Chain A
Amino acid sequence: MPKLKRRTFILGTLGAAGALVVGWAALPARQRLVGAAPLAAAPNQAALNGWVKVSTDDAVTVMVPHAEMGQGTHTGLAMLVADEMDADFSRIRVEQASYDAIYNNQAALLDALPFQPDDDGYVKRMTRHVAGRIVREFPGLAGTGGSASIKDLWLPLRQAGASARAMLVAAAAAQWKVSASELRVEAGRIAHASGRSATFGELALAAATLPVPYDAPLKKPSQFQLIGKPARRIEAPSKLDGSARFGIDALPDGLVYASVAMCPTLGGKAKGYDASAARTLPGVRAIVALEPVAGGIGGMGGATSGGVAVIADTPFHATRALEKIAIEWEHGAAASVDSATLLDDLSRALDTQAGNTHLERGDVDAALAAAARRITAEYRVPFLAHATMEPMNCTVRFKDGKATAWIPTQAPGFARDAVAQTLGIDAENVEVVQTLLGGGFGRRYFTDFVVQAATLARAANGAPVQLIWSREADMQHDYYRPAFVCRCEAGFDAQGSLVAWKTTSAGSSMGAPAMIDMSTDGASNQAYAFPAARVAHLPVETPVSVGIWRSVAHSQNAFFVESFVDEAAHAAGQDPVAFRASLLAGNARHLAVLHRAAELAGWGTPAAPGRAHGIALHRAFGSIVAQVAEVSVDADRIRVHRVVCVVDCGVAVNPNHVKQQMESGIVFGLSAALHGEITIENGRVKQSNFHDYAPLRMNECPAIETDIVASGEAPGGVGEPGTPPIAPAVANAVFALTGRRLRTLPLRLT
């Protein structure tokens, strides 16, 4: 049974390395709460454990390890602490914790393990345990991704809050000589029936001298005061008056700026250059050749291009001088790459190769052979750029053998190591200041721009250097969402029931290919109970550097699966909602989401004249999302008017931000579905800026209505699951409206 072999292999791999490390969750509760290094507290501040500080003016500071890139994680994490503490949420502050192995984001990798959604068997639990131990010590995964922040810290931060509360209560009890059980805590104030009361701030210093309790009881969900209720984003005001600081806003004393021209051919570099005209321009400090950077992670990625950079007094001086440098390029291995050919090659590879099996259920070959009717289809999706609003940038100062780096990064551990390696110093001598991120979407896991900035810092005589990529560099030197081709086949019996399902995709593998290939995420672990099924992926590596893009492989696979399920429904002569429901028998959470979306969208009653509905359902990162798109077509232009979105994400810690993230995921996915395409000719990315890689704009944005299914399950992710279903929902609506099945993204009628 191939599936079991695969699991055993993973278990064995992780087990071998896992034995060498001591994981964080394996530690007693003491270490979990205290943190590896004591918190720095100001004189009027008391650190009650590794996560919480209370100051005498009643402000409660929560240390958050995860990057805030728009997903609302700072607010959500602060809510976990504040609720268990019974703190006054208006007095909660958030401080970005520095990189520390204890905060490793274990949940991200665990979700990538190839299990069925409802499989919670022994092997899975064991594997998760061992994998968790490795991941927590593995610097690169101390990152923010996989929609995992809340999942990851759901228990630890609540424990931290409960423990801090217990210390404050104990301090009050000691001062007033009463039993702790007689005290009530509300909104940051502790009170006794005798009328005595004190605020957290008044008790903080005394509380800090008491022992840290490790077993403070947690609230039952029915006792939550904040969790589950809408809360405003904690850092929002700073983003409305210009005071929020992103990576590009780092302003250390003596700052100089750098601009880089990279080889237009992917993976190429500068063979030589003539900078005589640039060197004499005002404000120019240094001109530096940059080698290609292997900024990949976990077997994904690949080398980026080398180039030439100018360090100058201002960004303007740097870019102006750069334009005056004549660079001769060495185009490298990708010089003949053409994305159109590449997609055709992927398709041809599927003529002869079966790929690696990621899911095998029943005897699919026999079931297809015996089927009364079969349908087949081929789907294609292109490379995509991340195009975060804040272009790649990084500021590094290297002085006296020590470095400080201001980095908008999703992976401070990787970034720190990249700086250290580039400068040839120990990681302990690198201080990483994690800033706010102007979008991440997976791009900021990679460290190519960090290595470049560290290289430039070495040439700046101790001055901090801020490297800012142009939008063109950002667009043309990304780690692209891999292009995939997928062949799908379904078989029906004489009664029209679906009896066999087979999909094989081809494209770059996603994830460490030898260990965990995430390429079929969302296809091999979808929820449909196909009687016989095989899902396979054929890894075909290309010179194009690829990476993780919001929702990882779910963005491709939801399009394949949810489009082809729709095709199967129509082939079976069934309503797409009823057909999906018939394949979900017994899966109550999926069924509830599907039916709620259909109901809210008015499924079954005709859409307005000239419009039609399409539906898609997809599970990713522990959350189930259904979307119904209402579309029209005007002069071959697809217009999406309204999207109904229903999500079951377990406990919705902050319903407001769950809705925000659904909207965000939908707009991001729609940008890709309607416009998104990176094409490569002669090894060069053709798109360069927002005119030819065009995100959705206000005038194209549909009305979005989101409904959250009430749930007591542990929280699932919300930053990514909103993205995958929208492309198939729109494609299915276009089919319903026009009878044309669009199997290639972006969706085009001409």
Chain B
Amino acid sequence: MTTLNINGRDVDVTAEPDTPLLWVLRAELALVGTKFGCGKALCGACTVHLDGAAVRSCVLPVAAAAGRRITTIEGLAGRQADALRRAWLDVDVVQCGYCQSGQLMSACALLAQNPRPTDADIDAAMSGNLCRCGTYPRIRAAIHAAAEG
């Protein structure tokens, strides 16, 4: 039994300690907004926040997340998250949407650290998040818009 703090609530999970957090979220807790894309920390679809920092949950053993603050897309909230979601809608970023939970998690972690990112900052923070639909130009525009808004 591991106790996790997810989206502000403590929950007990039965998963074995080496289970990747991704599968605990999806299969045990039915938090399926966090996506599986590669399983090897190569695509960013599974990005969540651990104490506010973006991490890839597909390679994070659940034991390593115990006692830390975990935030998933379902619980992503606050001023910056609101600004990002609004910008995402205004710029009409989304296509298939499968990567977008991860994109927002990475973008929000970026703005938390760096409220006015440059293009180079965005490249550095966002290049780990793949999008096969090619939403990159709009993600860039939406991050800038959210930073200004």
A residues touching B (Cβ–Cβ < 8 Å)?
68-72, 230, 232-233, 235-246, 248-249, 251, 257, 282, 313-316, 387-391, 436-441, 468, 470-471, 656-657, 660, 663-668, 671, 689-691, 695-699, 701, 703-704
Contacts and interface: CB of A to CB of B under 8 A. Distances in A.
A218 to B, nearest CB: 28
Contacts of B99: 389, 438
A698 B23 contact: no
Contacts of B76: 241
Contacts of B32: 242, 245, 248-249, 251
Contacts of B104: 240
**What 6 A-B pairs have minimum CB-CB distances, sorted nearest first?**
A242-B33, A667-B134, A438-B98, A70-B96, A239-B97, A70-B95
Interface residues of B, number: 57
Contacts of A242: 31-34, 72-74, 101
Interface of B: 15-16, 19-20, 23, 26-28, 30-40, 42-43, 45, 72-74, 76, 85, 88-89, 92, 94-101, 104, 122-124, 126-140
B20 to A, nearest CB: 7
Given A314-B15, A315-B23, A248 B134 contact: no
A468 B38 CA distance: 11
A244 B35 CA distance: 11
15 contacts: A236-B89, A238-B97, A240-B73, A240-B88, A241-B85, A388-B96, A390-B35, A438-B97, A439-B96, A471-B40, A663-B138, A667-B134, A689-B38, A697-B136, A698-B139
B130 A689 contact: no
A391 B74 CA distance: 22
Given A236-B88, A236-B89, A690-B130, A704 B98 contact: no
B130 A389 contact: yes
Contact of B136 (A71, A438, A689, A696): A696
Contacts of B88: 236, 240
A656 B130 contact: no
Contacts of A441: 132
Contact of B36 (A70, A391, A671): A391
Contacts of A468: 36
A437 B96 CA distance: 7
Specify which of B28, B73, B134 lies most central, judged by the most chain A CB atoms within 10 Å of its CB.
B134
Contacts of A470: 39
Contact of B23 (A314, A440, A699): A314
B95 to A, nearest CB: 3
Given A314-B27, A390-B35, A698-B139, A668 B134 contact: yes
A239 B123 CA distance: 23
A70 B101 CA distance: 15
A695 B76 CA distance: 27
A72 B95 contact: yes
Contacts of B33: 241-243
Nearest to A550: B132
Contacts of A257: 27
A312 to B, nearest CB: 10
Contact of B140 (A232, A665, A698): A698
A237 B42 contact: no
Contacts of A236: 88-89, 92, 94, 97
Contacts of A436: 96-97
A445 to B, nearest CB: 16
Nearest to B130: A695
A660 B40 CA distance: 29
A264 B33 CA distance: 31
A316 B39 CA distance: 11
Specify which of A69, A243, A436, A690 lies most central, judged by the most chain B CB atoms within 10 Å of its CB.
A690
Contact of B38 (A437, A690, A696): A690
Contacts of A690: 38, 40, 42-43, 130
Specify which of B23, B99, B133, B138 lies most central, judged by the most chain A CB atoms within 10 Å of its CB.
B133
A315 B22 CA distance: 10
A695 B104 CA distance: 19
Specify which of B95, B126, B136 lies most central, judged by the most chain A CB atoms within 10 Å of its CB.
B95
B118 to A, nearest CB: 13
A240 B89 contact: yes
Contacts of A243: 33, 74
A698 B129 contact: yes
A690 B102 CA distance: 16
B35 A248 contact: yes
Contacts of A240: 73, 85, 88-89, 94, 100, 104
A689 B36 CA distance: 13
A100 to B, nearest CB: 24
Given A242-B31, A390-B96, A471-B37, 8 more contacts: A232-B89, A239-B97, A242-B32, A246-B97, A314-B19, A391-B36, A439-B133, A663-B135
Contacts of B134: 663-668, 696, 701
A314 B42 CA distance: 22
Nearest to A470: B39
B139 to A, nearest CB: 7
A244 B97 contact: yes
Contacts of A233: 92, 94
Given A242-B33, A316-B20, A699 B123 contact: yes
B132 to A, nearest CB: 5
A441 B134 CA distance: 13
Given A314-B15, A656-B92, A701-B137, A239 B36 contact: no
Contact of B137 (A244, A282, A703): A703
B59 to A, nearest CB: 12
Contacts of B122: 698
Nearest to A72: B95
A236 B138 CA distance: 14
Specify which of A232, A389, A697, A701 lies most central, judged by the most chain B CB atoms within 10 Å of its CB.
A389
Nearest to B40: A689
A389 B37 contact: yes
B140 A388 contact: no
Contacts of A68: 96
B127 A698 contact: yes
A251 B30 contact: yes
A248 B25 CA distance: 13
Contacts of A72: 95
Nearest to B30: A251
A433 B30 CA distance: 19
B41 to A, nearest CB: 10
A390 B133 CA distance: 11
B133 A70 contact: yes
